[in-house]
Amino acid sequence: MIIDCHGHYTTAPQKLQAWRDRQLAGLADGNRTLPGPAPVISDDELRETIQGKQLKMQQDRGSDLTIFSPQAAGMAHHVGTQKTSEDWATVCNDLIYRVGELFPKNFIGVAQLPQSPGVSPANCAKELERCVKQLDFVGCNVNPDPSGGYWQDPPLYDRYWYPLWEKMVELNVPGMIHVSSSCNPCFHATGAHYINGDTTAFMQFIQGNLFKDFPTLKFIIPHGGGAVPFHWGRYRGLAQMQNRLLKDHLMNNVYFDTCVYHQPGIDLLAKVIPVDNILFASEMIGAVQGIDPETGHNYDDTKRYVDALPLSAEDKKKIFELNARKVYGPLDAVLKKRGLI
């Protein structure tokens, strides 16, 4: 089985965005009762947004199952209040659940959290629990910067975040570090803000003692870990200056995905990062669309890069399947429930 651990519902029906627009318009008017009930979207409408798109791409590119979450840029935690984020996360997560029900062999949910700048992440516990216990979700996206490019909340090792980490440990689900849209014009969203978020989170994990307090807490750093693998020597050295070794300090807790959109980048990732810490992912349909004129293939068709790695079949199976089943605690149970293993 080939598990893509990083996909977003970027093709969600327009009715979802219309609901969000009403929510934001209500905020602007000071009318907090808007937008009212969840959007009414039929199963056929949902199928239509998936069949010719994510599902077709899975089939064309040879993956089987996508660990699927709401559109990352759409989370926009910086907008409105805690209540705004809670209502929006609920609506988005419910749609992800329905996609998983309609296509049980192909999609399993990961939650959008109702984060809000300056609001304790303790407010995320309830929605995360609902998603894992009632909707069969297997993880969540954690935005390390809910302010959208201004980094106003404490670093991830701060006790500020502990209520969320406690809930993740209790539910045995990992978090994918994932910023949302950028409201800082200095940071292009997918070109700078995303990669900054990945790199910054990794350094924060080096700085703190988070995994001493939470030995089973797990994170996936997407987009190949941002700048981290390329600067692995720097990070090993910085850790050593704090009298610690990266391999002991965080490599039982931090994983990297393969959303790197060229062969030399994947080659470097696999050379530097232990194979046990790499999870296959493409983030399709996502940040970088289009065909690379140098290869004739889509940039985000990452399976072909992993296929081309000089690794044993056993190691590739870890990247494509086994590592995801290890990191996403409830995944095997959901796969069994759906008859997939």
| Residue with token string 């840029």 | 73
Task: Identify which of residues 23 and 181 has a Cβ nearer to Zn ion in the complex.
Answer: 181
DSSP calls for 237-304: HHHHHTT--HHHHTTTTEEEE----SHHHHHHHHHHS-GGGEE-----SSS--SEETTTTEETT-THH
**CB closer to Zn ion, 283 vs 301:** 283
Handedness of CA 60, 98, 102, 49 (dihedral sign): negative
Least Å from the CB of residue 341 to Zn ion:
25
- Map the footprint of Zn ion across residues 118-137, applying CB under 5 A: none
Nearer to Zn ion, 6 or 167 (CB): 6
Look up 101 and say whether it is catalytic: no
Query: Which amino acid is present at 251?
Result: M
| 293's tokens | 């004129």
Instruction: Give me the 277-316 binding string for Zn ion, x by CB under 5 A, dash otherwise.
Output: ------x---------------------------------
Site for Zn ion contains 4 (CB under 5 A)? no
Measured distance CA(174)–CA(110) in Å, rounded: 10
Length of the chain: 341
Q: How far is the CB of 236 from Zn ion (least distance, A)?
A: 27
The span from the CA of 277 to the CA of 102, in Å, is 31
Q: Cβ 219 to Zn ion, closest distance in Å?
A: 14
Restricted to residues 44-73, the positions that interact with Zn ion (CB under 5 A) are 72
Assigned token pair, 213: 């307090």
Q: Which residue in 48, 283, 294, 321 is the catalytic one?
A: 283
For 188, list phi and psi in degrees, rounded to 5: -60, 135
Q: What's the closest the beta carbon of residue 238 comes to Zn ion, in angstroms?
A: 26
- Please list every residue from 166 through 185 that binds Zn ion, using CB under 5 A: none
Minimum CB distance to Zn ion smaller for 198 or for 321: 198
The footprint of Zn ion (CB under 5 A) covers 72, 283
Q: Name the residues annotated as catalytic.
A: 283
